[in-house]
Structure 1
Amino acid sequence: MATLRDLSRRLGLSVTQVSRALNGHADVAEATRARVLAEARRLGYQPNAAARRLATGRSGMLGLVLPGPPRMEEDSLFVQIVAALSQHLARLGRLFVLHIADPDEPQTEVYRRLIGGGAIDGFVLLEPQLRDPRVAFLRAEGVPFVVHGRIEPPHDYPFYDIDNRAVARRLTGMLIAAGHRRVAFLNGPARNTYAVSRRAGWREALEDAGIEPEPALHRFGAMSAGAGLVAAVDFWGPRGLWPTGVVCGSTRIAMGLLEGIRALGLSVPEDVSVVVHDDELPGLRPALFDPPLTATRSPLADGWPHLARLLVAAVDGEPAERLQVEGHVVTDERGSVAPPRPAPPGTV
């Protein structure tokens, strides 16, 4: 079986350089890391977990805790997350542990059991919330973690995130630029920090354009087709508010919204302009909607290799300020935005 010294000799690097590349340290160039990982895979290198635990006092196991079984519509995303994290952590010589918790058990007690006796060295945290109890607990216990997203300051922890406030500003701004002044926002759950940031971006874009945000046009809710369908009925039904443009926080919401718009005899973009943020969820592409939707796009899958690398580096003692990555967001302009029509008589 290949050893670190074998890799060192074949690559012309020191044992320390090879070890730091395998363990995801931030001071290793990406080209060097890729070369080391490729050679390790070619030679079938496997780190000695028992030796690492004796030498470092760590188990080499890193965890993800889910608060309960995923909903059916999230099954494919769940598989993607688990497969990607497991694969990327394995390439860095670590083991991945998935724990699906009892929804009735307090979150901190789940983590307390998992860190007992040094069983798990660190955790990936998904869907961070304001005043997140997981963060407070792991900070107090001195257990490394990496967040997919951000919580409120201080930002003294590793994270991978996109600028959600800027995303909402960009999407809202595209509708404003087309002439819309009554712009609704169908957002995610109120407890999630990304949704709070997006609400702020929506408000800022409107205020910068001299438009007073209407609280009734902003909705926190599930990232689901059902939430989009209900919003369509509420917005354009008999007592609706009749926004002329809508920002959807996810493609699932947009799918339900478009279904509701069509059922009400309206069309996009003639009656309503619709834009969306695209996480590139499995099987849902804004370009394939009818009509194709203008979108900001940042694939969730881009984050998984970063999360694996950042967590390994955090466990190995890298300072948090070197373990913070902001992902790229691109804009895809398509055919779902047009100037607004006048609202029907008797509407707001």
Structure 2
Amino acid sequence: MTTLKDVAKKAGLSITQTSRALNDHSDVSAATRERVKEIALTLQYRPNLSARKLVSGRSGLVGLVVPRTKDLASDGLFIEVVSGLSTEFSLRDMQFVLHVTQPEEPIIPVYKRLVGNGAIDGFVLIDPREDDRRAAFLSKAKVPFVVHGRIGPNPKHAYFDIDNEKIFRGITRHLSALGHRRIVLLNGIEDRTYAEARSCGYRHALVDSRIDPSEAIIRSGAMTESFGLISTVDLFSGPEPRPTAIICGSVRIAKGVYQALNALGLSIPRDVSVFAHDDHIAQIQTEAFYPALSVTDAPMRDSWKPLAACLEGAISGAPLSELQVVGPYRTILRQSTAAPCQ
């Protein structure tokens, strides 16, 4: 196995100089750093984690902790999260570690064990809640972390997010401008921060459009086809007046909505307009819906690079202002939305 001494000999440098070049110390010229890295790559040198920890105080390991669920191995979102983050951290010469807890295992003791052994430099937190105990613990322990989303109105942590409140305010205002007054929001799980932001944007848009907030129609649940289907059947099984527009938190929900409306003999958009947020996780082509689905478009895959960059920056001590990133989105209007029939 190639050692640091082998790389140093090939480069004609001391072991200390070689180590500092590989760790991007500023007292080593850029040209030398590049040359040493090329030699290390040619010799297939891999740094010993214990040695790296002694030299830099860092292991190069970052972690993601998730609870085990019965469908975890087949969950497309989970697979994309893990593969995307692993790739991006690998490009930064950092190793990504996945820790899966038992279904009912308390989460904070898990973090305490991982933090206590000093092996992991920082964590990625996904699916944040409004009162997130993981973030509170890591903040108190002064362990770097980055959140996919935001916690609280003035977050003091690194994050990558999209402006969920603005997105859903815009969707709702568009539908109300078309003349819709009874607009449904099929939202995500209630205590998730993104779901709260979306609900906030929806409610604000109702007020903007002079629609009484008491007329808000919100259903919350897992973002699945079955949630969309069951919610739609229930909404249209009650007495009049019926909704004329449905906003879906994901395209998977929208797929269930389409199935339900078709079964009920209702036409899109003549009877009901449908609008969804598309994060490209479900591998469903929204333009292939019939009629083609209007969406706000912000691919989840665009999250992995900034999340990795923000955590790397947090570990390196970069200022918080550089570690809070809001990603772009675009609105694509198609045939699933129109003015309601009079």
Report TM bin, short chain. Answer: 0.7 to 0.9
Partner in structure 2 of residue 85 of structure 1: 85
Partner in structure 1 of residue 279 of structure 2: 279
Q: Taking structure 2 as the reference length, what is the TM-score of the superposition? A: 0.86
Partner in structure 2 of residue 331 of structure 1: 331
TM-superposed CA distance for 1:281, in Å, is 1.3
RMSD: 2.9
CA contact (8 A) 1:4 1:19 kept: no
1:185-209 CA-to-partner distances (Å, cap 9, x unmatched) read: 0000111000000001001111011
The amino acid of 2:103's aligned partner reads P
CA contact (8 A) 1:70 1:78 kept: no
- In 2, Cα distance between equivalents of 1:267 and 1:5: 74
Partner in structure 2 of residue 171 of structure 1: 171
Tell me: CA distance 1:177–1:93, structure 2 relative to 1, closer, same or farther (3 Å). same
SS state of the match for residue 207, structure 2? helix
CA contact (8 A) 1:279 1:300 kept: yes
TM-superposed CA distance for 1:321, in Å, is 1.9
TM-superposed CA distance for 1:309, in Å, is 1.4
CA contact (8 A) 1:156 1:321 kept: no
1:149-175 CA-to-partner distances (Å, cap 9, x unmatched) read: 001043111100000000101111111
TM-superposed CA distance for 1:76, in Å, is 2.2
SS state of the match for residue 104, structure 1? coil
Q: Taking structure 1 as the reference length, what is the TM-score of the superposition? A: 0.85
TM-superposed CA distance for 1:239, in Å, is 3.1
Partner in structure 2 of residue 29 of structure 1: none
- In 2, Cα distance between equivalents of 1:185 and 1:309: 33
In the alignment, is residue 234 of structure 1 matched against residue 234 of structure 2?
A: yes
- In 2, Cα distance between equivalents of 1:6 and 1:281: 46
The amino acid of 2:270's aligned partner reads E
TM-superposed CA distance for 1:269, in Å, is 0.4
Tell me: CA distance 1:52–1:81, structure 2 relative to 1, closer, same or farther (3 Å). same
Tell me: CA distance 1:231–1:141, structure 2 relative to 1, closer, same or farther (3 Å). same
- In 1, Cα distance between equivalents of 2:240 and 2:226: 18
TM-superposed CA distance for 1:214, in Å, is 3.7
- In 1, Cα distance between equivalents of 2:331 and 2:268: 19
TM-superposed CA distance for 1:47, in Å, is 4.9
Higher RCO (CA 8 Å, separation ≥ 6 residues): 1
Partner in structure 2 of residue 300 of structure 1: 300
Partner in structure 2 of residue 56 of structure 1: 56
TM-superposed CA distance for 1:241, in Å, is 4.9
- In 1, Cα distance between equivalents of 2:149 and 2:56: 29
Give identity over the alignment, percent. 42
1:124-182 CA-to-partner distances (Å, cap 9, x unmatched) read: 00011011000101011111100000010431111000000001011111111211111
TM-superposed CA distance for 1:72, in Å, is 6.2
1:254-298 CA-to-partner distances (Å, cap 9, x unmatched) read: 011110011001010010000000001142121111111110010
TM-superposed CA distance for 1:18, in Å, is 8.1
Partner in structure 1 of residue 29 of structure 2: none
Tell me: CA distance 1:74–1:104, structure 2 relative to 1, closer, same or farther (3 Å). same
Structure 1 residue ranges without an equivalent (≥5): 8-14, 22-34, 343-348
Partner in structure 2 of residue 205 of structure 1: 205
Partner in structure 1 of residue 184 of structure 2: 184
CA contact (8 A) 2:183 2:216 kept: no
Structure 2 residue ranges without an equivalent (≥5): 12-18, 26-33
SS state of the match for residue 118, structure 1? coil
Q: How many residues align?
A: 323
- In 2, Cα distance between equivalents of 1:153 and 1:328: 20
Residues 1-348 of structure 1: pairs in structure 2 closer than 5 A = 19=23, 46-47=46-47, 49-69=49-69, 71=71, 75-214=75-214, 217-239=217-239, 241-342=241-342
The amino acid of 2:152's aligned partner reads E
